[in-house]
Structure 1
Amino acid sequence: MTERDVSLPVAAQPSVDALVEQAQLGESLGYDTAWLPESWGRNTVSTLSCIARDTDEIDIGSSILPVYSRSPALLGQSAATLQEVSDGRFRLGLGPSGPIVIENWHGVEFGNPLRRTRETVEIVKQVTSGETVDYDGEYFDLEGFRLRCAPPDPAPPVEVAAMGPKAVELAGRFADGWHGVMLTRDGIEDRLEDFERGADLGDRDRSTQRVTLSLTCCALDDAERAKRLVKQHAAFYIGGMGTYYRDNLARQGHEEIAHEIYDDWQAGDQEAAVAAFPEDLLEELAAWGTPEEARERFERFAEIDGVDAVSVSFPRAADLDAIESTMRALAPE
């Protein structure tokens, strides 16, 4: 049975307490995991520590922590600590992010994200195992590092967010799971083939790996408002967050519309970018509408073979009421 997660929103949050309360609501509604990404707002590790202390059963995870903004050793220490604080409920999600975030905001060169992600995953796994880390890589050389506290038991899963074929293959080969985002139903199936190929190359037990699809959702009594929010969200990522999301959509067979949205947004005409987004494509990327309509759309994604969990995520412009309405509407039965 497909698990149902919730991706806590980083936008429109007045406080850390609000995020804790949303995780508690997710727990009370029966969601399996509460994910929290790290962008340019609150520190995810600190916030997840607060959530871990004030929840009891729901798993918690980072989705994602960029592999450029912390060293692999520190990521391993953080994962070990969060696993301890949560009593074994933590999942570490990693990913490269993109040049806009990494170079413009962190001041770090965004070079060879595939290799850097692989090395980070390998080092983190060594750190959390409690063994002495001696690692000779292209980006990282470590000698003699070892946790001075007891290693987590069990070690937390290390999962990777990825969009391109090679990146998803890497996740299957080296990580304990893959996080997909902004994927059509057909696009998911193509990337699942990449993940399975990676798992074969890495001689991994696929039954121990978890595929999570992050799905933009909005369930409101006002169905038109819900549609407008998810369309604005998708247009923002395709048009305004570098070329990764644009290229990801183009790769899935929607090259013309992906470039039209991107070009309109880059030209400063955000309204045109949103208007250019066709409704039939939105049907393939999101779940929205009244609570009943949104749930019906959501189930189409939950039924995809090979997807182990679908995570309810929210439009960036959704307010607190819209977030709660969506969480309640799409909660596990």
Structure 2
Amino acid sequence: MTDRTIHLPVAAQPSVDSLVDLARLGEARGYGRAWLPETWGRDFVTVLTSIARETDEIGIGPSIANVYSRSPTLLGQTATTLQEVSDGRLRVGIGPSGPAVIEGWHGVEFDRPLRRTREYIEIMRTVMAGETLNYDGDVFSLAGFRLRCDPPETPVPIDAAGMGPKSVELAGRFADGWHAIVFTPDGLEERLEDLERGIELGGRDPADVRTTLSLTACALEDGERARDLARQHLAFYVGAMGTYYRESLSRQGYQDEAHDIAAAWASGNHGEALSHISDELLDDLGAAGTPERAREELRKFEVLEGVDEIAIGFPRGATTEEIEATIETLAPEA
């Protein structure tokens, strides 16, 4: 059975407490984990610490912590501390993000993203195991660090995000799981073949590699409002967040639509960008509409073989009340 978790809102929320409240609602409704994106809002460390302190059972994790703005050693220390604070409920998602974020926001060269991700995984595991860090890689050469506290009693799984064939293969070969976002059912199945190839190359047990799909969802009695919000969300990501979402859509058979959305957005014509997102495309990438329709659209992702978890995400324009309504409607116990 596919697990359901929450991918907390990427859009700015009124306060840290509001994010904690959403995680508490998720816990009460049976969701297994609260994933927190880290983009232009609050940092994941402070928010996840607050959630850990105010909840009892729900898992926590960043999705995704980029592998440029913090050193791998620091990220290993951070994971160690969050695992202690949460009493063993942490799972970490990492990934390279893209040039628009890394170079534009953080001022770091977007260099060798796949190799860098692999080295982060290896370095973080050494740090969290409490071993002395002596690492000689292509990106990092590190020596002498060792935790001066106890390593986590429960090892922290490290998932890797990826959209292209090689990044997904890397997740299968080296990480404890793969985080997928902006995928159609057919596109996801194709990438799962890359994940399986990575698992084979790494001599891994498939049961040890978990697949999590972050899925934009909006379930409202006003079904048109829900679909409008989801359409705006998709147009923003394809049009404003660099090239990787556009390239992923193109690989999945929507090359013309991806190009047209991005071109219209770049010209400032956001209304035209929305017009290029057909109902078919919207349904292929999320679960939005009335409660009945959203549940139906969600099921077609949950039945995919190889998907272990659906992380219910929310359109960036949704209000707190609309997010709460979606959490309630799509809850596992519902």
Asked whether the two chains share a fold, i.e. TM above 0.5, the reply is yes
The 5 Å alignment of 1:155-304 reads: 155-304=155-304
CA RMSD for the aligned pairs? Answer: 0.8
Q: 2:68 aligned with 1:68, yes or no?
A: yes
> Does the aligned pair in 2 maintain the 1:157–1:176 contact within 8 Å?
yes
> Does the aligned pair in 1 maintain the 2:133–2:143 contact within 8 Å?
yes
Per-residue deviation, residues 82-105 of structure 1 (Å, max 9, x unmatched)? 111111100010011111111111
Output the amino acid matched with 2:150: A
> Does the aligned pair in 2 maintain the 1:12–1:320 contact within 8 Å?
no
> Does the aligned pair in 2 maintain the 1:219–1:289 contact within 8 Å?
yes
State how many pairs are aligned. 333
Output the amino acid matched with 1:145: F
SS at match of 2:252: helix
Per-residue deviation, residues 178-197 of structure 1 (Å, max 9, x unmatched)? 00000000000011000111
Give the match for residue 21 of structure 2: 21
Runs (4 or more) in structure 1 with deviation over 6 Å come to none
Structure 1 runs not aligned, ≥5 long:
none
Question: What's the CA shift for 1:41?
Answer: 1.2
> Does the aligned pair in 2 maintain the 1:2–1:307 contact within 8 Å?
yes
> Does the aligned pair in 2 maintain the 1:12–1:318 contact within 8 Å?
no
Give the match for residue 331 of structure 1: 331
Q: Which TM-score applies when normalising by structure 1?
A: 0.99
Structure 2 runs not aligned, ≥5 long:
none
> Does the aligned pair in 2 maintain the 1:159–1:176 contact within 8 Å?
yes
Give the match for residue 43 of structure 1: 43
Question: What's the CA shift for 1:10?
Answer: 3.1
SS at match of 1:5: strand
Output the amino acid matched with 2:170: L
SS at match of 1:211: strand
Structure 1 distance, partners of 2:72, 2:124, is 6
SS at match of 1:143: strand
Question: What's the CA shift for 1:274?
Answer: 0.5
Q: Which TM-score applies when normalising by structure 2?
A: 0.98
The 5 Å alignment of 1:66-145 reads: 66-145=66-145
> Does the aligned pair in 1 maintain the 2:93–2:158 contact within 8 Å?
yes
Structure 1 distance, partners of 2:12, 2:221, is 20
